Structure 1
Amino acid sequence: MRAFRIAAYDAPPELVEFDLPPPGPGEIRLKIEACGLNFADLLMARGRYQERPEPPVTLGMEMAGTVSALGEGVTGLTVGDRVAAQNSHGGLAEEANVRADWCVRLPDDMPASDAAAFQIAYGTSHVALDYRARLQPGERLVVTGAAGGVGLTAVEIGALMGAEVVAIARGEEKLEVARQAGATHLIDARSLDIREQIKALGGADVVYEAVGGDLFTQCFRATNPDGRILAIGFASGEVPQIPANHLLVKNLTVIGLYWGGYRVHRPKVLTDSLAQLFRWYEEGRLHPRISQQFPLDRAADGLEMLRLRKSTGKVVVTVP
């Protein structure tokens, strides 16, 4: 089969052919139809992600397709089932072996491309805002990187949960995308007075922060007493340093979130969250935005879109 993989960390990914072994105990063989790309794939290729499987490694963390074989002991799934699956790697390929308990059946009318764009982006935002930050109706939610694949879902879910959403993104085009997803207020990330603009709106009750660097600092300083700050990621490449005395004086809470970590120590958090998200999708209340789709042999182009931050919404790789 064909797969887009790295032979060593920091080596350029290549499309190669190799034989995939049969699924092991508790695994299913997935015939992949689509794979969603994430900023974490870029970190994985450089060996800078939280998980570091031994190379060679096939990139791609979230995938959707059809079950084609069952490993020993698998129950609850059958050959022919359409499922979405999430793993730290393996999705940019024609097939993958995935743990059965990391698979979720798809709604009947959900295209594979939507499913591949759905799990990590919507799952991260829902677990962050609902399970971790306990976002309440009427609270003011500030979202950085608000037009990206994950940030856009935070805007959409935050609005769905009744929050007043402030979207921060770069440029009018991206801000318009965030407005269409439910943002009430728009701030250009290139502004020099982001802190002052947030405070003029009444300050932030919850901050969904995926960029890091100076933007984190400005949002941190604009957070109201008793506010919560979700550390989602550091797309700028700069991990912020948090002054603990400010946490004390303003009774702030900084909350870390690594969505994939729940797969191991509390998987029910993810399965319950995805069940709710799929219900909202079936009700027409969530609308995955796919900005670009690339075939498997152009997966490198999709990753470059992420690296240059040119996408608005998710980038998806399709597998014929």
Structure 2
Amino acid sequence: MKAARVVSWGSPPQYCSVDLPAPSPSQIKLKVMAVAVPPLVRGRALGKHPTAQGAALPFDPSVDGVGMDEATGKLYYIAPMAAPLFTEYANVERSNIIKLGPGANPVAVATLVNPVGSSWMALRCRALPGSCKNATVLILGVTSTSGRAAVDVARSLGASRIIGMSRNEDTLAAVQGLDHRVVLQDPIALPPDIGPIHIVLDFVGGRAASGVLAAAKAEPGKDIQYIHLGDLAGEDVIPLQARLLNAKPIRITGSGMGSWSKQDMKQELGGLLGAVVKMGIPDGVFTASLADISGIWESEDAKKKRFVVIP
């Protein structure tokens, strides 16, 4: 059976042959249909992500994907870390798969679970319970794929107003579903008519994050809930003045593997997948076969687009 494995940290996965034993009674053998390569997978391939630290080589950096039971033709979502998926077939514990509805597109599901899941898990597991209902949500970095998905997620969870922020005015204008659009400039300012902010979903990080927190107004009696999701700015540090934390009620947290548990993810997968299967394949998806993975891993398309491996 063919697979791809990292044989040297920092190098692209290499196409190779591996053995797959017969599945145990608690497992099902699935044909792998689509596996996304978000930044998390690249971080694991570098050996830098916490979930890869201390792992032995050769290593499969994949996280989740879509598989098919060839006996029935049914499609299943394979939960994060359930099995090595840079491979033609995988044995997966039945407790770690969720059947997808008729018409589900494997590439769309594999592509969208990560970007949709980032805001879904943030609002469901890291924000205060039920606090998205009737809230004003500000999405910093809304023109990214994850940011655009966050608009739909926040609305589906009951947000009453959604504010999108980005530095590019043209791409910001193209984002659908926003109530307000604010161009990210230095110094950062929010129009007075926006009013209090309840939740900030931040895909940018760095100085932009601290600038938004300084500019945001709080509703009396409620926290501004800041949730860190990404670092599109490429800055490792979010500089915060101590007096800012004393001047307004700010609740700071993050969202990602480690800040929520595997049990949290299992509990949320049904709702998350229900939202994902309603969406089509987003723009900017780049697909490649498992056999070509080492040659295209560092290509511009693989790095800048939503890269999906189709074994």
Q: Under a length normalisation based on structure 1, what TM-score does the superposition of the two structures give?
A: 0.79
Superposed, 1:61-140 pairs within 5 Å as: 61-67=63-69, 80-88=73-81, 90-133=84-127, 134-140=130-136
Of residues 198-207 and 38-47 in structure 1, the stretch that sits farther from structure 2 once superposed is 198-207
Displacement of 1:287 after TM fit?
4.7
**Alignment match, 1:230:** 227
Alpha-carbon distance, 1:255 to partner:
1.8
What secondary structure does 2:122 align onto? Answer: helix
Q: Is the 8 A contact 1:203 1:222 kept in 2?
A: no
Q: How many residues align?
A: 298
Deviation at 1:209, TM superposition (A): 1.2
Residue by residue over 1:224-278, the C-alpha shift from the partner in whole angstroms, topping out at 9 and shown as x without a partner, is 33200001233425132444543343121012212476453xx2x3334222234
Select which of 31, 56, 59 maps to 1:57.
59
Report if aligned partners of 1:3, 1:93 keep a CA contact under 8 Å in 2.
yes
Shift of 1:128: 1.0
Aligned to 2:32: 32
Amino acid at match of 2:75: R
Matched with 1:316 is: 308
What TM-score does the superposition give when structure 2 sets the normalisation length? 0.81
User: Whole-Å Cα distance in 2 between the matches of residues 220 and 302 of structure 1?
Assistant: 37
Q: How far apart are 1:288 and its partner, in Å?
A: 5.2
User: SS where residue 215 of structure 1 aligns?
Assistant: helix
CA shift digits 1:30-81 (9 cap, x unpaired): 211111221111211222212013221123222102135xxxxxxxxx8654
**In 2, distance between residues paired with 1:145 and 1:298?**
32
Quickly say closer, same or farther: Cα 1:26–1:49, change in 2 above 3 A.
Answer: farther
> 2 CA distance for matches of 1:36 and 1:5?
15
**RMSD (Å), alpha carbons:** 3.0
Could you tell me whether the CA contact under 8 Å between 1:138 and 1:163 is conserved in 2?
yes
| 1:88-147 CA-partner distances (Å, limit 9, x unpaired) | 473333223333322111011111112212333222211211332144344221212323
What per-residue deviation string (whole Å, max 9, x for no partner) do you get for residues 270-308 of structure 1?
3342222344456x4x45525213122454646655885
CA contact (8 A) 2:14 2:293 kept: no
Q: Is the 8 A contact 1:126 1:157 kept in 2?
A: yes
C-alpha contact (below 8 Å) 1:28/1:97 kept by paired residues:
yes
Q: Structure 1 307/31 Cα, relative in aligned 2: closer, same or farther at 3 Å? A: closer
Aligned to 1:4: 4
Tell me which residue corresponds to 2:180: 185
Structure 1: give runs of 5+ residues left out of the alignment: 69-77
Aligned letter for 1:224? K
